[in-house]
Amino acid sequence: MTTPVVKNNFLPPGLVSNLEQVLLSRKTDGGEDGESSNPNEKEDDSSNKGDSSEPSVDDGSKPIILVTNSDGIESPGLSYLVEALVREGLYNVHVCAPQSDKSTSGHSLSLKETIEVVSVDINGATAYEVSGTPVDCVSLALCGSLFTWSKPLLVISGINKGFSCGHHMFYSGVVAGAREALVNGVPSISISLNCDRKKDGSKESDFKDAVTVCLPLIQAMIRDVEKDVFPKSCSLNVEIPTSPLTNKGFKVTRQSLWRSTLIWQAISGTRHQAASRFASQQNNAMQLAQLGRDASAAGAARRLATQKKNIEIVESVGAAGKSDFKRTVKYFRLEMLDKEQEEEDEDLDFKALENDFVAVTPISLSMPVETETKIAASEWISSALQVEQ
């Protein structure tokens, strides 16, 4: 089965739905152009349009589910998940996801930056792609400016490629999307599919299987949130093993200290310029387009003039700065290298994942401090303040 196609659609989803219904109401069995020769037949058709098997995007009687991710809106994990939720026919599914891969964006916001939001066509769902981070997507969706609601029943972040165990939770965009929902008082779940990153990930069918595995847990969460029996101030981080359908079952786990080694590799200036020339051209085009969106022609002209002036000042300083200072420019590229872990507790997230369990780690906003650490810190603070006095 192929991944559901996501297409740009610059018309509001509600308007598109209305137009589709009008066009469908005009179709008859006779005539290739869909025109009806009998006006009464049009009335009959329009009266029966409620019998359509297409899912209703704006059914107010259904609970609202918000889906985001960090791999980008065209990722197979998100597409298969949304398709499955829509197929259930029980929810109003809304999507607000990044335009591109933001997997290691962490809990970052695009503060004081203008982001672009574009409606996209995902069958049965109201969907937007955002030129920002997963946290931007969730924060925007919950503010009440984008959708007609401000608080969904549940926020689902995923399904993402690659695990988010241990310290990776701090870097992970998919976990951050779920955490932002929790900050706003909305129950949430983040889902990741483990894969061999060195071999460039999993097959699309693996994501479909991952949906099959995690859907019962999602359904249980929705049911218990509706009943108000789901734990308060709690988010779940779910890690699915590489072969989803051969998993050994669900296992409640604790966040481990698992982490990658961050390797910064020096890159030569010549190599960097060759590799980044095309990217620079794209960035310049995006910046010019952003200016056009941000302001009127006069405002854009003023901003361009200001930027040009600033560039001239910087270039002047660089070219004719202090004679006793020689500026040095270096380039580096970051890579993550897996390292051996010494922790052996079977209840840790990465250990359960290694043993082919579906690891489910509860997350809260409060970061618990071990008693021994708290006592030691209290003693140090007291002694440090006494010395200062």
Q: For the chain, what percent of residues have pLDDT higher than 90?
A: 43
Quote the pLDDT of residue 117.
97
Quote the pLDDT of residue 164.
87
Residues 24-39: what's their mean pLDDT? 44
Backbone angles phi, psi at 268, to 5 degrees: -65, 150
Asked if pLDDT for residue 370 goes beyond 90, the answer is no
When pLDDT is cut at 50, 70 and 90, the band that residue 333 belongs to is: confident
What angle separates helix 204-226 from helix 76-88, to the nearest 10 degrees? 50
Order of strands across the sheet with 358-363?
7-8, 117-122, 125-130, 92-98, 64-68, 154-161, 188-193, 235-240, 358-363, 250-252
Q: Quick one: which H or E segment has residue 97?
A: strand 92-98
Q: Tokens for 317?
A: 């300083």
For residue 344, the SS3 value is coil
Q: CA 90: distance to chain centroid?
A: 23
Least confident of 33-42, 95-104, 225-234: 33-42
Please give, one letter per residue, the 3-state secondary structure of 131-169.
CCCHHHHHHHHHCCCCCCCCCCCEEEEEEEECCCCCCHH
Quote the pLDDT of residue 27.
45
| Model pTM above 0.85 | no
Asked if pLDDT for residue 182 goes beyond 90, the answer is yes
Query: d(Cα 107, Cα 120) in Å, to the nearest integer?
Result: 25
Asked if pLDDT for residue 48 goes beyond 70, the answer is no
Tell me: cis bond preceding 240? Omega within 30 of 0 counts. Answer: no
